[in-house]
Amino acid sequence: MSSCTGGGRFCAACPTTRPDVSRFGKLAASLGGVLAPQTCPACGERGEADVLCDACRDSAVPLGEPACGVCRLPGRFPGEEPRCEACLAGRGFRSACAAALFDEPLKSWVARLKYRGERTLAPALGHLARGAFERFCDVAAYDLVVPVPLSPGRYRERGFNQSFLLASAIATPHGLPVVSMLRRIRETAPQVGLESGAREENVAGAFAVDPEHGEPIGLTVLLVDDVLTTGATVDACARVLMGAGAAAVDVVTLARTT
C-alpha cells in the first residue's frame, strides 16, 4: 500500500480505495434487464429474446395437408398410407416433419444464422422447430437427439453447428440429451444446386457413428437438421444410425422445400 502510484484512487494495488465496480455493474445490468425492451431476434421489434415475435412466427408458412405419411411432403398421394415417390422407394428414417416451408422470410433467417453467424437466432428458430416435434412426434418416445454433423472443415470455418443449436432448443425442455454421435468421414460438396440423384451420391458413405460419443443400440433417435430438401442427407444419417443398431430414427427439420 505504501508504494501506491495511483494517488489512492483506482490503483490496482489499493482494492479498498477502488470503486466497487462489480456491484455497480450488477446493479446496472439488473436495471438494464428491466428497462431495456427485449427484441425479437429475427426482426428486431419488441418481443422476447429467445422466441420469434407473433408477426415473424405467423410469417413462417406451415406445410399443407394432405401430405405424405412418412416425410409430410404436401400432396395427395394414393393409397391408405399415402407415400410420396421418394418414400415409396424407401427411406432410412421412419418419419420426417418440418416446422415450415423453406421460403422467405425464414430462408433469410437461416442464412443469417448459418452464413452471418447470428447465433441469437438459434433459440428462436429452435423453438419453431420444437413446435413441429411436439405436433408430429410422440415426444416421450425418444432416448436422445442427434444433430446432423458438419464436416470438420466447415465447423472450423463457422465455429458452430446450426443443427446442434436447433437440436438443443428442441431437446432441453424435454430433458432429452443431445449427442453428437455422427461425424462426417469425408468432405461433401454443398447439396445446394444438386439434383436428387446427385445429392444421394454426394452424401453416400459420408457419415459414420463416432463410438467416442456412444452407440445408438436399441435407442429411438430424433435426428435434427436445419433444412430438408430431397432428404438425402438425413436419409444417409438415418441409415448409418439404423446400421449401428438404432431401434428407430425420426427426423425433425426447421424447414423443408416442396
Contact status: 60 vs Zn ion (CB under 5 A): no
ω into residue 15 within 30 of 0, thus cis?
no
Q: Pick the closer one to Zn ion by CB: 96 or 150.
A: 96
- Quick one: which of 51, 60, 68, 224 contacts Zn ion (CB under 5 A)? 68
Q: Is 53 in the site for Zn ion (CB under 5 A)?
A: yes
193/157 Cα distance (integer angstroms): 21
From candidates 51, 60, 63, 70, binder to Zn ion by CB under 5 A: 70
Q: Rule CB under 5 A: which of 87-146 touch Zn ion?
A: 87
Indicate which single residue of 51, 60, 84, 254 sits in contact with Zn ion (rule: CB under 5 A): 84
Of 25, 1, 81, 86, the closest CA to residue 257 belongs to 86
What is the nearest approach in angstroms of Zn ion to the Cβ of residue 18? 42
| Minimum distance, C-beta of residue 67 to Zn ion, in the bound complex (Å) | 8
Q: Rule CB under 5 A: is residue 56 a binding residue for Zn ion?
A: yes
Backbone angles phi, psi at 220, to 5 degrees: -95, 120
CB of 228 to Zn ion, least distance (A): 10
Q: How far apart are CA 199 and CA 16, in angstroms?
A: 66
Write phi, then psi, for 174 (nearest 5 degrees): -100, 5
Rule CB under 5 A: say whether 40 interacts with Zn ion: yes
CB of 66 to Zn ion, least distance (A): 12
Residue 218 in grid coordinates:
436399441
Beta-strand runs (E) in the chain:
95-101, 144-147, 182-184, 207-209, 220-228, 248-256
The site for Zn ion (CB under 5 A) is made up of: 40, 42-43, 53, 56, 68, 70-71, 73, 84, 87
